[in-house]
Each structure stands twice: as C-alpha cells, then as structure tokens.
Amino acid sequence: MSDDIQSEGCCKPCDGDHDHASEPRLGWHEYFMSVAHLIAKRATCTRGHIGAVVVRDNNILSTGYNGAPSGLPHCNETNCKIYRSVHPDGTVEENCVNTIHAEINAIAQAAKHGVSIKDADIYITASPCIHCLKVLINVGIRTIYYDKPYKIEHISELLRLSGIRLVQINVHNI
C-alpha cells in the first residue's frame, strides 16, 4: 500500500475550521447518557420523551424509549389516554395507558433477543417511576444513572431497601 493512500485514512486532519483535536473525548457516563438522550428522540408519547440504555462492562446491551406496544397506535397518532393514581402520601400521579416506559422497553428488548441484563447498569434521561424501579430491582440492575429527577421522593424507600444505587449524571450540550 502506498504512503499517500495510508495518509488519507479516517484519522487525517480536517481541512475545515473545525479542530477535532481540541474536542475532549466523552467519558463513559457522558457517552451512555448522550445515547439515552438520542434514543429519547424516538419516543412517541406526547407528554414526555424518555430514553434508556442498559449497559454492562461499557457495552450497550439494549435500549428503549417510551411509546405504545409494537403495532399499536402511538400517542402522537391518537392522543394520550390518561389515568390517575394516588400515592399513599396523597399525591396524584398521571400516566398514559398507551405508553410503555423506556426502562420496560429496554428490558423487553433484552428479553426478546435473549440478552441477560443481570448485574448491568441503566442510563435513563429521567429517574424511574416507582413501577419501573420495581422491575429494575427484579431484573438485577445494579446502578441507575439518570439526568433529570422525576418524583424521587416516591422511590427513595425502595432504593434504600434494594441497595440499588441512584446516580445523577448531567449531560449538557448534546
């Protein structure tokens, strides 16, 4: 192979104004949370776009976003069907009947493809609801990394009892 062909590989300097050498390389947490935010752009619930990435040993095992079950109408095609539930502390929560949360979709994707997620971590664009947290406990997730807090006061007791770590990772400029 001649030298001139080798020098034009994928790592040659750009001719434009953009200097890639000055860009810092993303750390693992920033990388996976950025992926979760990208996945959230596929969400179809009009009330919120959430993305989730299940990771073990710095490898992506599965992903999920909130939306209707496969083949069924999505909220952005029909409308959200809201139901209300009351927590023991009296606060009212509203959820959509059509929507499967991102965390559950990531778990379902792993199950569908025969991928074990025991002892994995999950990156979510928002902290999990109490129902998703219960499922994350049962599948063996070790650490939940999240960007935006969502009703953390409702999950604090389950986190304490389960031993699952909840860690906030803020990713800016993605």
Estimate the crossing angle of helix 102-112 against helix 130-139, to 10 degrees. 30
- Is 75 annotated to bind a ligand? Reply is no
Q: Which of 30, 103, 153, 157 is catalytic?
A: 103
- Is 132 annotated to bind a ligand? Reply is yes
23 counts as catalytic:
no
Could you tell me whether strands 143-148 and 165-168 are parallel, antiparallel, or unpaired per DSSP bridges?
A: parallel
- Is 129 annotated to bind a ligand? Reply is yes
Q: Detail the DSSP E strand segments found in the chain.
A: 51-56, 59-65, 82-86, 92-96, 121-126, 143-148, 165-168
| Cα 122 from Cα 101, distance rounded (Å) | 13
| Cα 155 from Cα 93, distance rounded (Å) | 13
Question: Annotated binding residues for Zn(2+), as ranges?
Answer: 101, 129, 132
Question: Annotated binding residues, as ranges?
Answer: 101, 129, 132
The set of catalytic residues is 103
